Amino acid sequence: MANQDLKTEEALTRWVDKIYPSKEDFKRILRRKKKLTIYHGIDPTVPCLHLGHSTNFFLLKKFQKLGHRIILLIGDFTAQIGDPTGKLTTRKALTKKQILENCRTYQKQAEKILNFKSKKNPVELKFNSQWLSKLKMEEIIKLVANFTHGQIIKRNMFQERLKKKQEIYLHEFLYPLFQGYDSVAMDVDAEVGGTDQTFNMLIGRDLMKIYKNKEKFVITTPLLINPKTGRKLMSKTENFIALDYPLNEMYGQIMALPDEVLIDCFKLCTEIPLKEIKEIEKSLNRKKVNPRDLKARLAREIVSIYHGKKEALKAEEEFDRVFKEKKMPSEIPEIKLRAKRLHILDLLTKTKLARSRSAAKRLILQRGVKINNVVEKDWQKVIKIKKEMIVQVGKRKFLRLI
């Protein structure tokens, strides 16, 4: 097998869960050396991408290097509907202004992995409002006429809502049809997305056959799952490690990941060769290596991708300084407060160390707040504000009052 074929096989093993209609059919198309159009779509519901997205980006990077046309699609139109995937409640509608602000830096975040500036084969950035906002009513009727209520209602989250006697709004039925129409509008050969997007992507495959009489490959990528909870480790609306996190925040968040997801993170969120990852897994299973040391290696690798190797080493030194040596961070953000006295809950919310007074109260009751390295236990306390006072929340948030 040629070296290029080996690399392709590794990519399709490492970053791929399933390929529809089959992996063999897709590999056969790849061997023909035909230039394919492959895309990945993201709805801009929040301003930052996260490590879960990087799995798709690494796979697209391999396809880009093979010479295929790659499109990163921003779902600025579909975000106004809200993808019901995995949701037992209807998503809150976003305004156009919110959507455009959210996706403002998506390309900058994605280009840490994808090459948008290649002279030979740059990744293209598109927005689905370019065609979906122009659909006429008769075209929408023609689109929805291709599917039955029974086909759409089969979606897992809709079935869950029915069991719980929760409402399903009509616009939510339109979401997979509009996402599917993206494939038709761009005349793609393949779509890449997480396994939770399988239903939507297969709708697009059906529409390609109907509108274009053409096969579209659906390539699903594995999700990072917390084995203890069975829930996604990365979600735009819940937990995530953002690709644009500051250096020390990204390193610290990776160090806080559960040990059980280490190997999956090495596979899905880095480009360390699979052979080396298998050796790491053997050492971990045989207890020949401390999970904390592996986590530090993982943090260095990931931070290097988004901030550079030198900065990753600096982040490691800073982390060890704070957590191993129990010292204050070398750089602490500063804030000036005019008040001479503040209720401790107000202190935490005004400095944005807590989102709300109720969240601040929980942090105190959980012994998660320190002032000048002393744990605060009384959530009703009034704090006398002094210059150079250090307020700490959790293990990684510090603030100096000036």
The C-alpha atoms of residue 2 and residue 6 are separated, in whole angstroms, by: 6
Q: Quick check: 285 and 352 in contact, CB under 8 A?
A: no
Read off the amino acid at residue 308.
Answer: G
The C-alpha atoms of residue 69 and residue 66 are separated, in whole angstroms, by: 9
The C-alpha atoms of residue 266 and residue 229 are separated, in whole angstroms, by: 20
Ordered by start, the domain boundaries in the chain are 3-221, 247-323, 334-401
Average pLDDT, the chain: 90
| Torsion angle of the four alpha carbons 195, 199, 201, 204, in this order, in degrees rounded to the nearest 10 | 170
The C-alpha atoms of residue 348 and residue 357 are separated, in whole angstroms, by: 8
Q: Characterise 13 by phi-psi region: left (phi > 0), alpha (psi -120 to 50), beta (else).
A: alpha
* CATH 2.60.40.10 describes domain 3-221: no
Q: Which CATH architecture has domain 247-323?
A: Orthogonal Bundle (1.10)
Average pLDDT over residues 145-167: 86
Q: Quick check: 368 and 393 in contact, CB under 8 A?
A: yes
2: pLDDT strictly greater than 90: no
Q: Quick check: 268 and 222 in contact, CB under 8 A?
A: yes
pLDDT digits (tens, 9 = 90+) for 89-140: 556 667 888 888 889 999 999 999 999 999 999 999 999 999 999 999 999 9
Q: Which runs of consecutive H residues, i.e. helices, occur in 271-379?
A: 274-285, 291-307, 309-323, 344-350, 357-365
SS3 106: helix
Helices (H) and strands (E) in the chain, counts: 18, 13
The C-alpha atoms of residue 92 and residue 132 are separated, in whole angstroms, by: 20
- CATH number of the domain located at residue range(s) 334-401 in this protein: 3.10.290.10
Neighbours of 258 (CB within 10 A): 13
> What local confidence, expressed as pLDDT, does residue 90 receive?
59
pLDDT digits (tens, 9 = 90+) for 224-272: 888 777 778 777 655 689 999 989 889 999 998 999 999 999 999 999 9
Neighbours of 273 (CB within 10 A): 11
pLDDT digits (tens, 9 = 90+) for 278-313: 999 999 999 999 999 999 999 999 999 999 999 999
What percent of the chain stands above pLDDT 90?
66
Q: Quick check: 129 and 76 in contact, CB under 8 A?
A: yes
pLDDT digits (tens, 9 = 90+) for 331-354: 788 898 888 999 999 999 999 898
With bands split at pLDDT 50, 70 and 90, how would you rate the model's confidence at 158? confident
Minimal CA–CA distance to 274: which of 60, 52, 10? 10
> What local confidence, expressed as pLDDT, does residue 239 receive?
65
Consecutive H or E run containing 343: strand 341-343
> What local confidence, expressed as pLDDT, does residue 166 receive?
86
